């Protein structure tokens, strides 16, 4: 009597589904709104929330919407900018009025990347010297804007100056994305995803350098 060998996995056996981390699942959840009738409200809410506590940047949904309807790119950028600045003001309010509440402070220290005791002290020092530029650079570049909005409130920097820097930085960032799609179309997507951080950092450096040159050379 012979015994059969234990069954082996067939070459045609489908692979186990890829396990996705919580951030990736959140990213996919944000992206799925682009294919729904609620894409614009979702963009507004996401842009608002990302400025104070939500981890996924609004660029993800903004890019998807610009790909689907290039002719509406500037409209998407406008509402993205408005909501983001309003969210930044909410972040400022959290830092200014709720930071002394232990539960609030613990939530941000635990769950929001970049918000910790070390960075609070570090950014407070930067605000003393560069205030407007700290907000602008965070609003325009991939530096987490939410960290700066909350700490701006904690450090109680000048609020009108904070709003002005946020309006300029956020609008410049989102309108740049919209302009790239209007100018080059959907093929620009890969460039934005791979090189946009470098472009925004270079732009911020050039702009700040220009103001420094005007201040000290004229």
DSSP class of residue 116 equals S
The predicted model scores a pTM of: 0.80
State the chain's mean pLDDT as an integer.
82
pLDDT of residue 79: 96
> Using 50, 70 and 90 to split pLDDT, how confident is the model at 203?
low
22 against 173, higher pLDDT = 173
Give pLDDT tens digits for 1-29. Answer: 555 555 554 455 555 445 567 777 887 88
121 against 39, higher pLDDT = 39
- Span of 66-70, 85-89, 209-213 with lowest mean pLDDT: 209-213
Overall average pLDDT of the 191-216 stretch = 63
E strands of 11-102, at which residues?
A: none
Give pLDDT tens digits for 123-171. Answer: 878 887 888 888 998 899 888 888 889 889 988 899 999 999 999 999 9
pLDDT of residue 13: 53
Q: How far apart are CA 69 and CA 184, in angstroms?
A: 13
Overall average pLDDT of the 85-96 stretch = 95
Q: How far apart are CA 122 and CA 59, in angstroms?
A: 27
> How far from the centroid of its chain's Cα atoms is residue 19's Cα?
25
**Residue in the structure block whose two tokens are 């996705």:** 20
């Amino acid at each position: 009597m012979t015994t059969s060998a234990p069954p082996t996995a067939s070459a045609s056996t489908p692979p186990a589904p890829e396990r996705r981390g919580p951030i990736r699942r959140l990213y996919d959840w944000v992206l799925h709104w682009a294919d729904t009738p609620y894409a614009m409200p979702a963009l507004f809410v996401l842009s608002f929330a990302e400025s104070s506590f939500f981890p996924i940047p609004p660029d993800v949904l903004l890019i998807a919407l610009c790909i689907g309807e290039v002719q509406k790119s500037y409209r998407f950028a406008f509402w993205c900018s408005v909501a983001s600045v309003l969210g930044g003001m909410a972040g400022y309010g959290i830092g200014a009025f709720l930071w002394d509440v232990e539960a609030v402070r613990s939530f941000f220290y635990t769950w929001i990347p970049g918000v910790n005791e070390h960075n609070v002290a570090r950014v407070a020092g930067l605000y003393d010297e560069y205030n407007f530029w700290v907000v602008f650079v965070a609003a325009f570049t991939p530096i987490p804007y939410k960290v700066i909005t909350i700490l701006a409130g904690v450090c109680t920097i000048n609020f009108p100056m904070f709003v002005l820097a946020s309006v300029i930085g956020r609008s410049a960032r989102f309108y740049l994305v919209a302009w790239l799609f209007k100018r080059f179309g959907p093929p620009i997507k890969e460039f934005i995803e791979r090189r946009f951080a470098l472009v925004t950092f270079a732009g911020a450096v050039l702009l700040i350098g220009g103001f420094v040159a005007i201040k000290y050379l004229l």
